[in-house]
Chains A and B, each alone.
Chain A
Amino acid sequence: MNSRYLPLLATVVIFLLAYAGCALQYPAILSLRVLSNLLTDNAFLGIAAVGMTFVILSGGIDLSIGAVIAFSGVFLAVILQSTSIHPLAAFALLLAITTAFGTAMGAMIHILEMPAFIVTLAGMFLARGMAFVLSIDSIPITHPFYKVLKSAYYRMPDGGRFSLIGGLMILIFVVGAVIAQRTRFGANVYALGGGAATARLMGVAVGRTTILIYAFSGFLAGLSGIVFSLYTSAGYSLSAVGIELDAIAAVVIGGTLLTGGSGFVAGTFIGILIQGLIQTYITFDGTLSSWWTKILIGFLLFAFILLQKGILALSRKTGS
């Protein structure tokens, strides 16, 4: 078997084992209701994590995601409150802004040859700052169209609600996986992660690919912001703090190599589900404090990095 699939396989096995363990203790966790809530509650994180997967596959990092989500929420809330513009038009405007924002960051990373870390850190400050400038209050969104979108769900046999945003997340994951595996752009992203110099020699347009990757991440962060504003029905400049870290954790737990070049979008999906499962378990238990989530995710992160190191060492040994 290809050692490329081992981290993904390990993630799936760990998720299934963890799910089985939870189900043994609390059989209700197996219900479709819990499963659909798992999707709804993590929809915004999942969509952002797809963008992060591409960025990390290319060997970069994007710290601006959480700030862009907060900016999106505030932007939508302010624009829907002060103008009579239709939400769909506001969505389109917002996606154009965040995509342009991502494009600008990608261009800076490529043209100025600066580390992605510090460029996207500046982007994070800028996006969070713009959110503050728009409004420092938490603004509710009361537009009737939001109610329509929120009440659009498919009722499961046991009464669970498979929501629109949960479905959107799955759609984005499928689209992301197709782009990564089946398009020229996807192949270029993997090549870039393997090494910029090699990729250039192979004829990859490094600049164009880099810019496209961050534009794509900016677009998905904006989409994630729309989903977040649907989920919370409000815009607040201090919300979604640290989401980028959760997204990075999901990508790593999903088996993507942080040095870039190896990993799968589907793995990130499992990574999101594992994080959601930990939170659900803590809710079911009721006695554990929520900070155990952080500690467990930190531990999982560590375990997966070790696992990847081990697999890498093994494959090198068998390869040579």
Chain B
Amino acid sequence: MTLALHARLRRAMPQLIALSIILLLNVLAFPGFFDIGVQNGRFYGSLIDVLNRGAPVVLLATGMTLVIATKGIDLSVGAVIAICGAVAAATVANGHSAVFAVGAALLVGLACGIWNGLLVSVLNIQPIIATLVLMVAGRGIAQLITEGAILTFNDPGLIFIGSGALLGIPMPVVIWVLFALAVSFLVRGTALGLLVEAVGINRRASTLSGVRTPVLLVVVYIVCSLAAAIAGLIVAADIKGADANNAGLWLELDAILAVVVGGNSLLGGRFTIAGSLLGALIIQSINTGILLSGFPPEFNLIIKAAIIVIILIVQSPALPALGVLFRRTTSGAGE
């Protein structure tokens, strides 16, 4: 058991080191970064802020990890956030209870996941294109629901999801921790994770060896869309309104980035949810750090781009081959 833990730690080492470096830089730029206080009966501080603000990306990254492990990709999550936020806001605006609104949003998320899953598994469409359909149309649908306006609401139950706290911990943090634990248990406590990896490595071979690939793919896309639906609830509850234009805009790219930064290959196969969570937290720490340090936020995207490029080079499948080549030539020269 300790050995397994050790191996796991070693695997996540690059991400842990990256996160430590970024947190260290944050402390240097903003000495009070690690201070955690208690205000109005809840924890308060920059570190808590990272965990709290990162909730949508962490949730998306959890679902996206599974999708990417099957050699897929889900571009529609940003649009699903907008749709589900709009559904929840419209439901409470029509006088229904918060529980009903949450249920409705989750159901719509489920429907989006089934749609994506069917396109990928039954119609055999490339995932990037299959989910592009919902990405393009989704924001239009969300605007149809909100009728083009920002739909605001005052329901305390729904707002609690965004700004409430449980035992002093902000609700979004509670939600993503529970969700990540549940998904991790689902895939690692059962053989499901192994099957997902098998599909990602070779879909045809796993179908031939008896894996019910279509069902598995639909389930994976459902988990991803449900994560987006929950993120949509948090985003909407946070601003007490559904903004069909901007809710979750480009979050799919952040989520994919988090998964890749977390050490997962876009080519499918082995995956680590913990890595993706670390990846999402790295991205959020960068964002928060740039804001806190007073560094112009214009540089945010450039720093992000630089980090992706560094991680790409480190993870590149061509790198070991280049290294071997280099070593051979040097040893050859020495002889």
Q: Which residues of A line the B interface, CB within 8 A? A: 61, 108, 111-115, 117-119, 121-126, 128-130, 132-133, 136, 245, 248-249, 252, 258-259, 289, 291-295, 297-299, 301-302, 305-306, 309
Contact = CB atoms under 8 A, between A and B. Distances in A.
Interface of A is mostly: helix
A113 to B, nearest CB: 4
A132 B137 contact: no
Contacts of A289: 143-144, 148
Interface string B280-320: 00000000000000001011111111101100110011110
A61 B128 contact: yes
Contacts of B143: 289, 291, 294
Contacts of B144: 289, 291, 295
A111 to B, nearest CB: 6
A212 B225 CA distance: 37
Nearest to A135: B298
A250 B313 CA distance: 32
A108 B311 CA distance: 13
Tell me the dominant secondary structure on chain B's binding face: helix
Interface stretch (B95-103, B105-113, B174-182, B253-261): B253-261
Interface in B120-168: 123-126, 128-130, 132-141, 143-144, 148
Contacts, number: 120
17 contacts: A112-B319, A117-B266, A118-B256, A125-B301, A126-B301, A128-B301, A129-B300, A129-B303, A132-B301, A245-B135, A293-B140, A295-B140, A297-B136, A305-B125, A305-B133, A306-B123, A309-B123
Nearest to A130: B302
Contacts of A132: 298-302
B83 to A, nearest CB: 12
A61 B257 CA distance: 16
Contacts of A136: 298
Given A115-B266, A245-B136, A121 B301 contact: no
B266 A118 contact: yes
A117 B135 contact: no
Contacts of A258: 126, 128-129
Contacts of A130: 302
A248 B148 CA distance: 25
B73 interface: yes
A301 B256 contact: no
B13 interface: no
B7 interface: no
A140 to B, nearest CB: 20
A258 to B, nearest CB: 5
